[in-house]
Amino acid sequence: MKAELQGYRRDQAIRIMEWIASSYRPVKVYEVQDGVSLRPGQTTLDEKTKVASSVIDVCRPLIQVGRDGAIKFVHFSVRGYK
């Protein structure tokens, strides 16, 4: 079970980083939250399918959420990718 949870969090972290890296503008927490929640073939986004905003925490300290709610890379190892 623990390995399964770690794999799930790793997948979420990868998806979050992909959303941030591929965006043309700073993305907000709620946008990444919705993007991570969606899967192929899924047509609804509601309280059952939406992940918690704390999902962003799996990527700390590589990212930071600004006062405006936008997520940005802050760690030196990823800052150059944006």
Compute how many other C-beta atoms are within 10 angstroms of the C-beta atom of residue 65: 17
- Which regions of 1-82 does DSSP assign to beta strands (E)? 27-28, 63-65, 70-73
- φ and ψ of 27, to 5 deg: -95, 150
Query: Could you tell me the pTM of the whole model?
Result: 0.76
Q: What are the helix (H) ranges across 23-82?
A: 29-37, 76-79
Number of domains, the chain:
1
pLDDT digits (tens, 9 = 90+) for 46-79: 777 777 778 888 888 889 999 999 998 887 776 5
Tell me which residue range forms the domain holding 44: 2-79
